[in-house]
Structures are given as C-alpha cells and as structure tokens.
Amino acid sequence: MLIFIPPRLAVRVNGLVSKDPKLTQANDFFFSGARLPGNTTNSVGSKVTPANVAQVPGLNTFGTLYVRFVTSNPENLLISKTLQVGDMFVFPVGLIHFQCNVGNGTLIIVIARLKAVENPCTVIVVNAVFGSNPPIPSDILTKAFQLDKKVVKNL
C-alpha cells in the first residue's frame, strides 16, 4: 500500500492544519483499529471501522502522484492511476512498480508492506520493464536507469 504526502507548512486541508514535516511522528501514519473486531450484532451484521484523517493524521495534505505497476508474464500489462487527496494504492507483491510526482513540490511517500501473498508469480524484469503494454514512457526509463534516451530506445 502506498500513501504519499507533500510537505507543506501551516496549510489547512479538510478543515485541519497540516503538520510541519519536521514534527511528524510514526503515530501520524499508524492506525490499528482495522485489526480489532467490531460489534456485528446489528441489523446488517457488519461493522465499518473508519480510517480517515481523524484516525490517521498523516492522510491530511495529499497531493498528486502517478502510480504504475506491470503485471506478470505473459501479459506484462501496465496498470496506472493518478492519486489525489485521500487516495491509497496497493501494489501487488513482487511486481515491478514505480511512482512519478505529477504535482508541484516535494512528496513524502509512505509505504506499508503486507505479508499475505494470495497468488505468487514469477516476473521477468526485462519483459515487464521493456515489454509492458502500453510501454513505460522512455523518459521514465531514462531517469530510472540513468541512461541516454537512445540506449533506452534500443533496449
């Protein structure tokens, strides 16, 4: 799961003042309520546990981040999404993934790794990176591998 937060000083978002990044703590990005059982003895037999900015202050002040991952062989499908305020995105375990800041300013990225793997697979990195459908833009690959654009195009 990926959560990103652009650092800003004294900005009001969602009616709350965002925290100075220098003063952030682990608990600003932590929520344990989802693992606690809820009371399901109601008419619908379920309990919704909120996990929003009130429970996880680190969710406040999101910006814009473009996230992508490539599925496993033989498809190597490029999956992409632009994240906005309050969005979260899950990268499947073991797949090639990357992010690109498409907003203004610096982003702080928080990543949580989940242990469960429902369907492990093999990823051939060269096929996923250079054979994705649609292709990963060459300017992203040029930056990631620190190669000349001509070299990336030949690969």
pLDDT over 60 (residue 9): no
pLDDT over 80 (residue 120): no
Distance CA 60, CA 13 (A): 7
Of the candidate ranges 44-48, 112-116, 146-150, the one whose mean pLDDT is the lowest: 112-116
Nearest to 110 by CA among 57, 72, 71, 69: 57
pLDDT over 50 (residue 106): yes
Nearest to 129 by CA among 85, 68, 82, 83: 68
Of the candidate ranges 6-20, 44-58, 77-91, 124-138, the one whose mean pLDDT is the lowest: 6-20
Backbone angles phi, psi at 108, to 5 degrees: -105, 125
Distance CA 109, CA 57 (A): 14
Structure tokens that stand for 70 in this block: 């490539």
Task: Answer whether 144's CB lies under 8 Å from 98's CB.
Answer: yes
pLDDT over 80 (residue 104): no
Q: Does the annotation place 54 within a ligand binding site?
A: no
Structure tokens that stand for 48 in this block: 């919704």
What pTM value is reported for the model? 0.47
Mean model confidence pLDDT for the chain: 74
Structure tokens that stand for 6 in this block: 């652009």
What pLDDT, on a 0 to 100 scale, did the predictor assign at position 29?
66
pLDDT over 60 (residue 141): yes
What pLDDT band is residue 27 in, cutting at 50, 70 and 90? confident
Please give the average per-residue pLDDT across 126-153, as a whole number. 88
pLDDT over 80 (residue 68): yes
Task: Report domain extents, the chain.
Answer: 2-32+50-154
Q: How many other C-beta atoms lie within 10 A of the C-beta of residue 101?
A: 15
What pLDDT, on a 0 to 100 scale, did the predictor assign at position 53?
72
